[in-house]
Chains A and B, each alone.
Chain A
Amino acid sequence: MATLSAHGIEAPLPGGFEGRIFVRTPVAEESTYPVAQFATFSLPDDVADFGGGAVTLMGPDDIFAALFEYGPESVGRRLFARQGMPRSLSVGDFRPYLLRRGLGGQSGTQWFFTESGRPFTLYVVLGSDARAAALVPRVNSLIGPMTITGTTPPLMPAAAAGAGERWN
């Protein structure tokens, strides 16, 4: 089983999943933080943080998941009050109207939480809401063994000068 590990996030990948953990190069004065993306289909190069450019490519049996870290100023806010990432989701957690981009037949779920002192959101899209019963266990096999440790410093514009091209 392949394991992805970078920026304090470690994810053993179940069969059929691919993924990436990266920090985008900051633009202007922004600070950027780690993003992890996982999919059961080929992720294009230019995928937005929450799957823009990828979810339109999903088949009915596909899954897309994104783990997005926010800045430390979010720690302690009510939105991130939940401690720990959900490690097991149910079919009832997925709703078509929870999609950031509503695509017919798909459904999604989003969770905000804090783990190891780091504020995150977990966003998962199912290719077909009708097949949620078969797809959700695969989602759980992905997020179940995932670990988040430590605190990574934000990537500031100055530090990004030598950081290379995005995730690649």
Chain B
Amino acid sequence: MIALAVVLSVVVALLAVLVAGLLRSHADILRALHDLGVGVGDPATTGTAATPTPVPLTIGPPLPAERSTTTAPTVSGSTPGGDALAVAVAGTGGLTLLAFLSSGCATCAGFWNALRRPDGPGLPGNTRLVVVTKGPDTEIPAEVASRAAPHLTVIMSTDAWRDYEVPGSPFFVLVDGPSGRRIGEGVARHIDQVVDLVRRAEVDNSPVPPPAADTHGSGGASASRAQASGLDGPERERANDRELAAAGILPGDPSLYPSSLEDLYGPAGHRRSDVATDGTAARTG
């Protein structure tokens, strides 16, 4: 019994020491925070006057205050073979996909391999693919050359990374040539994601055919036309309204409120006859 009491006393004493140590450590932390200017309350400590001190906190590279996400400057630099190459992405006829890759990043390796496939990555036909690495000041040309497929357009240009404010690799920028604007940018983990994004952009940028019953003889409404011309928000909405009105589609028009697929595409029998009037009919008739 006495032995048990002694053991319990020792345990209690040890716990008391442990608690005291924790309290002291906690007090030290609070004092340090207070010295840094982020303390809570008014600790009773004296001596070290608590003068608030700004604490610099930096996470990742600083981003520009106003990052330009629409301009598309010409990409110029050198090739891994030491030649010079410049690609104008604005004012061209189609889309240009700029793939900012590095020779060393693990995620980029998947993209380099995908771009070596004999059948290509599967981008739409009017899309020009340009891989942009940092310049020879940062990348080793031989390393880049070893990763690039023979006919892949590769430009080594640190300036391009700066111009497009690329935060890291891999990073992709899609430029619409006719409007000279970036219409998409971001990070992807797999080439299929990029290809899907480009295909969607291509569909969005393609003009909508004029409606079948266009009694006014005007062209079809195209939301992407307003987008391509740089309109956004209310201006873009007004531009779309004007195009719809020119096509004879006024507010309240039933075509604006489809309730079924037939409202969108017409009766099923009519759809079949549409198909039959093109190549199929010619072949069978």
A interface residues (Cβ-Cβ under 8 A, vs B): 2-7, 9, 13, 15-23, 40-42, 45, 163-168
With A2-B73, A18-B86, A19-B86 in contact, do A168 and B79 touch (Cβ < 8 Å)? yes
Set A3, A17, A41, A164: member contacting B145, Cβ < 8 A? A164
Q: Which residue of chain B is the closest to A166 with respect to CB atoms?
A: B81
> Does B151 have its Cβ within 8 Å of any Cβ on chain A?
yes
User: Do A42 and B150 touch across chains, with their CB atoms under 8 A apart?
Assistant: no
- Docked Cα-Cα span, A5 to B79, in Å, equals 11
With A13-B86, A45-B151 in contact, do A168 and B92 touch (Cβ < 8 Å)? no
User: Do B80 and A16 touch across chains, with their CB atoms under 8 A apart?
Assistant: no
User: Do A4 and B81 touch across chains, with their CB atoms under 8 A apart?
Assistant: no
Whole-angstrom distance between the Cβ of A7 and the nearest chain B Cβ: 8
Identify whether the interface residues of B are mostly helix, strand, loop, or mixed: loop
Whole-angstrom distance between the Cβ of B274 and the nearest chain A Cβ: 34
Whole-angstrom distance between the Cβ of A75 and the nearest chain B Cβ: 24
Set B83, B88, B94, B128: member contacting A168, Cβ < 8 A? B83
Q: How many A-B residue pairs have CB under 8 A?
A: 87
Name the residue among A5, A19, A22, A165 with the largest chain B CB count within 10 angstroms. A165
A-B contacts, 14 listed (Cβ < 8 Å): A2-B86, A13-B76, A13-B88, A20-B85, A21-B85, A40-B91, A42-B88, A42-B93, A45-B153, A164-B79, A164-B80, A164-B145, A165-B151, A168-B83
Q: Which residue of chain A is the closest to B73 with respect to CB atoms?
A: A2
> Does B84 have its Cβ within 8 Å of any Cβ on chain A?
yes
- Docked Cα-Cα span, A3 to B159, in Å, equals 11
With A2-B73, A45-B151 in contact, do A168 and B93 touch (Cβ < 8 Å)? no
- Docked Cα-Cα span, A45 to B129, in Å, equals 11
Q: Which residue of chain B is the closest to A22 with respect to CB atoms?
A: B83
- Taking CB atoms, residues of chain A closer than 8 Å to B70 are none
Set A2, A42, A164: member contacting B92, Cβ < 8 A? A42
With A18-B86, A164-B145, A168-B153 in contact, do A4 and B92 touch (Cβ < 8 Å)? no
Per-residue contact bits, chain B 54-83, to A (CB 8 Å; 1 contact, 0 not): 000000000000000000011110111111
Set B83, B87, B94, B154: member contacting A18, Cβ < 8 A? B87
Set A2, A5, A166: member contacting B74, Cβ < 8 A? A2
User: Do B81 and A41 touch across chains, with their CB atoms under 8 A apart?
Assistant: no
Whole-angstrom distance between the Cβ of A18 and the nearest chain B Cβ: 4
Q: Which residue of chain B is the closest to A19 with respect to CB atoms?
A: B86
User: Do B88 and A18 touch across chains, with their CB atoms under 8 A apart?
Assistant: yes
Name the residue among A3, A20, A22 with the largest chain B CB count within 10 angstroms. A20
B interface residues (Cβ-Cβ under 8 A, vs A): 73-76, 78-88, 90-94, 128, 145, 148, 150-154
User: Do A168 and B81 touch across chains, with their CB atoms under 8 A apart?
Assistant: yes
User: Do B74 and A18 touch across chains, with their CB atoms under 8 A apart?
Assistant: yes
Q: Which residue of chain B is the closest to A38 with respect to CB atoms?
A: B86
Q: Which residue of chain A is the closest to B89 with respect to CB atoms?
A: A18
With A165-B150, A168-B153 in contact, do A16 and B88 touch (Cβ < 8 Å)? yes
User: Do A23 and B73 touch across chains, with their CB atoms under 8 A apart?
Assistant: no
- Taking CB atoms, residues of chain A closer than 8 Å to B93 are 41-42
Whole-angstrom distance between the Cβ of B177 and the nearest chain A Cβ: 8
User: Do A168 and B85 touch across chains, with their CB atoms under 8 A apart?
Assistant: yes
- Taking CB atoms, residues of chain B closer than 8 Å to A7 are 83-84
User: Do A17 and B88 touch across chains, with their CB atoms under 8 A apart?
Assistant: yes
With A2-B76, A45-B151 in contact, do A167 and B81 touch (Cβ < 8 Å)? yes
- Taking CB atoms, residues of chain B closer than 8 Å to A41 are 92-93
With A41-B93, A42-B92 in contact, do A6 and B83 touch (Cβ < 8 Å)? yes
- Taking CB atoms, residues of chain A closer than 8 Å to B90 are 16
Given A2-B76, A6-B83, A18-B87, 9 extra CB contacts under 8 A: A2-B86, A7-B84, A19-B84, A22-B83, A164-B81, A165-B81, A167-B81, A167-B85, A168-B83
